[in-house]
Amino acid sequence: MKQIRPCVLAVVVNLALSGVALPALAQDGAMSNAEMARLIRAQAAKIDALEKRLAALEQQNATLAASPAAPADPKQLDPKQAEVANAIADTTRQSDIAQLQAQVAQLAAAKNDGNPNIDWRDGSPEFRSADGKFTFRPRGRVALDISSTRGSDFDARNIGGTEMSQVRLGAEGTIGPFGYKVEADFADNATSVKDAFVSYETKAGGLPLEIYVGNKLKDRSIEGAGTQTRTPFMDRNAVGTVTSPVNGFYGLGVQARLYGSNWHLGLGITGDDLSNTGESSDSVAYTVRAHWNPIKRSQGFVHLGGWYYYENLSDDVLSINKTSRIGLGFNDNLRVSASAIDNPTDDHGWGYEIGGVYRSMYGFVEQGERTINSSTEPSVEHKATSVYGGWMITGEKPGFSARSGVWGTTRVANPVGEGGWGAFEVAVRYDDYDFTDAPRGGEGKAYTLGLNWHLNDWVKLMLDYVHWKTDNQVGSFRGLDTGDTIGLRTQVVF
């Protein structure tokens, strides 16, 4: 009798598990932790009940075995006894038991050694609830810059040093169809909030629609609408900076983006960013941007885009004095002066984008113009042109998004640390800064050569060489001046 107990017990366990676990385990491995826990508890309860029933049957069998009477006909046994007797006779059950035990062991190992509700694909852990309705992921970025300038006729411009150009921490996640993102920046020994918004994803006419409420980058130009750490160069191009409205790259308000298969349309109504002190009304900007891919293939696509904004300026904007960086971020003396415009009432800007991606190469042309109106002075136009292109030497696809028309993550085929050398990228850019429409407006030109080493999807080393020329009419650095700036950046983005 002791010899048949393990066999009978295995069969009983199989009867308990086969009706519950096997169908669920066959569903593409999509079982959540909560479902797994419920399954195990249900199995444990059935095993406990069947163990008790088995003990009673063994006791009954022992009594029958001790009796001198002939063994009972299986047909006359209790239905449960007959079920056990037939199961014992079915040796094919043993292979089922072994297979099911292996599956349960595999699931148990997965649960203990690797949580399927934690995803590391974006460089930081994304936590998901068992039902998938809630997610949470920490975000951050660190960008350390070293730069040096030489060749200027002004000694104050020939400086070098280091800076933390970006130090950000934040988080993003979803709550059903709603999303959120919050990021704070600690660069330059100052704390400021950048992204801080709630989003909602829905459909409009069967097309994906994203709605954002809060502080977010405006959808304006290629590099103005995207994060700086994803661009091929250490600084944004001339179009992105020269044509920026008074309330800057970010704006607190409502934005929406509608996506088609080869186009997108963005609309926004935004006020000042979170730095507004609340002592006066916001400057309100109305922004629209759209792009279209007339050719979109697996090897690449053509990008055509355009944007426009109108900004009604607040009463506390008493003057606009635009000075755009031209020689990387550390050297504040390397700027192009636009000259001050007093008593501005409103401004508007527009621009176009032409370019595309083909295999591992890319190229774009952008041009933009901003017009500033004043109650006491003639209107003034600020103009900018940027032409740039690059080549992923190691063959990766450039990280430009055909869906939204901005720079995104470059996916490295052979990351450092996994047996590869990473990805290498070379890029060139020409920028023209034109403020000469103003009576004392300056102008500048910059020629940039960049070499980027993407160690993996999140770590990048950047080397930029900039030959620049400025011709300012006001300020401490008047007249024609030329020089060279070299910069090195180490950045981690997750």
- In this predicted model, what pLDDT tens digit does every residue of 401-415 receive, in sequence order? 999 999 999 999 999
Q: What is the pLDDT of residue 15?
A: 42
Q: How many domains does the chain have?
A: 2
- Measured between alpha carbons, how far is 125 from 267 in angstroms, rounded to an integer? 32
Q: What is the pLDDT of residue 102?
A: 52
Q: What is the pLDDT of residue 273?
A: 80
Q: What is the pLDDT of residue 111?
A: 46
Answer yes or no: do 152 and 214 share one domain: yes
Q: What is the pLDDT of residue 116?
A: 72
Residue 47 has pLDDT above 70, yes or no: no
Higher pLDDT, 19 or 374: 374
Q: What is the pLDDT of residue 33?
A: 47
Residue 332 has pLDDT above 90, yes or no: yes
- Cβ-contact 84, 57 below 8 angstroms: yes
Least confident span in 29-38, 76-85, 455-464: 29-38
Angle, CA of 457, 413 and 228, to the nearest 5°: 30
Answer yes or no: do 51 and 134 share one domain: no
Answer yes or no: do 319 and 330 share one domain: yes
Tell me how far CA of residue 256 lies from CA of 91, 245, 265, in angstroms: 64, 19, 8
The proportion of the chain whose per-residue pLDDT surpasses 90, expressed as a percent, equals 71
- Measured between alpha carbons, how far is 419 from 417 in angstroms, rounded to an integer? 6
Answer yes or no: do 101 and 129 share one domain: no
Q: What is the CATH number of the domain that holds 248?
A: 2.40.160.10
Of 97, 88, 79, 95, which Cα lies nearest the Cα of 13?
A: 97
For the stretch 171-198, what's the b/e string if a residue is b when 16 or more beta carbons lie within 10 angstroms of its beta carbon? Answer: ebbbeeeebbbbbebebeeeeebbbbbe
Q: Which residue has the tokens 């068992």?
A: 130
Answer yes or no: do 441 and 471 share one domain: yes
Segment 48-107, tens digit of pLDDT: 665 566 566 566 656 655 555 444 454 454 555 555 555 545 544 455 555 555 555 555
Q: What is the pLDDT of residue 335?
A: 97
- HSE, CB side, 13 Å, CA atoms: give it for residue 99: 10
Of 359, 64, 89, 401, which Cα lies nearest the Cα of 222?
A: 401
Residue 11 has pLDDT above 90, yes or no: no
Segment 337-356, tens digit of pLDDT: 999 999 999 999 999 999 99
- Measured between alpha carbons, how far is 164 from 146 in angstroms, rounded to an integer? 9
- Measured between alpha carbons, how far is 313 from 343 in angstroms, rounded to an integer? 10
Structure confidence at residue 45 as a pLDDT band (50, 70, 90): low
Least confident span in 9-23, 299-313, 378-392: 9-23
Answer yes or no: do 258 and 318 share one domain: yes
Higher pLDDT, 44 or 127: 127
Structure confidence at residue 296 as a pLDDT band (50, 70, 90): very high
Residue 31 has pLDDT above 60, yes or no: no
Helix (H) or strand (E) holding 185: strand 178-185
- Measured between alpha carbons, how far is 378 from 392 in angstroms, rounded to an integer? 46
Answer yes or no: do 432 and 334 share one domain: yes
Answer yes or no: do 197 and 308 share one domain: yes
- Measured between alpha carbons, how far is 474 from 343 in angstroms, rounded to an integer? 19
Residue 21 has pLDDT above 50, yes or no: no
Answer yes or no: do 41 and 169 share one domain: no
Quick one: average pLDDT of 468-482?
A: 97
From 88, 116, 144, give the residue that closes a domain.
Answer: 116
- Measured between alpha carbons, how far is 353 from 264 in angstroms, rounded to an integer? 14
Structure confidence at residue 24 as a pLDDT band (50, 70, 90): very low
72 three-class SS: coil
Of 106, 153, 8, which Cα lies nearest the Cα of 484?
A: 153
Q: What is the pLDDT of residue 17?
A: 41
Q: If you average pLDDT over every residue of the chain, what do you get?
A: 85
Angle, CA of 102, 103 and 105, to the nearest 5°: 65
Least confident span in 275-284, 286-295, 365-374, 382-391: 275-284
Higher pLDDT, 39 or 299: 299
- Cβ-contact 494, 465 below 8 angstroms: no
Residue 4 has pLDDT above 60, yes or no: no
Structure confidence at residue 23 as a pLDDT band (50, 70, 90): very low
Answer yes or no: do 131 and 105 share one domain: no
Higher pLDDT, 9 or 461: 461
- Got the DSSP string for 393-454? TT-PPP-B-TTTSSB-PPPPSS-TTTTS--EEEEEEEEEEEE-TTSTT--EEEEEEEEEEEE
* Type of residue numbered 117: N
Answer yes or no: do 135 and 111 share one domain: no
Least confident span in 6-20, 254-268, 376-390, 447-461: 6-20
Of 148, 226, 189, which Cα lies nearest the Cα of 488?
A: 148
Residue 149 has pLDDT above 90, yes or no: yes
Quick one: average pLDDT of 373-394?
A: 98
* Residue 377 φ/ψ, nearest 5 degrees: -130, 160
Residue 435 has pLDDT above 70, yes or no: yes
Q: What is the pLDDT of residue 222?
A: 98
Report the chain's C-alpha Rg in angstroms: 33
Q: Which residue has the tokens 């419920």?
A: 38
Look up the domain containing 89 and give its range.
Answer: 4-116
Quick one: average pLDDT of 122-128?
A: 91
Answer yes or no: do 247 and 383 share one domain: yes
* Residue 291 φ/ψ, nearest 5 degrees: -140, 160
From 55, 85, 116, give the residue that closes a domain.
Answer: 116
Higher pLDDT, 81 or 303: 303
From 116, 139, 159, give the residue that closes a domain.
Answer: 116
Question: Which own/partner pairs from 127-133 qualify as long-range (CB within 8 Å, at least 24 positions apart)?
Answer: 130/32, 130/33, 130/34, 130/35, 131/32, 131/34, 132/32, 133/174, 133/175, 133/176
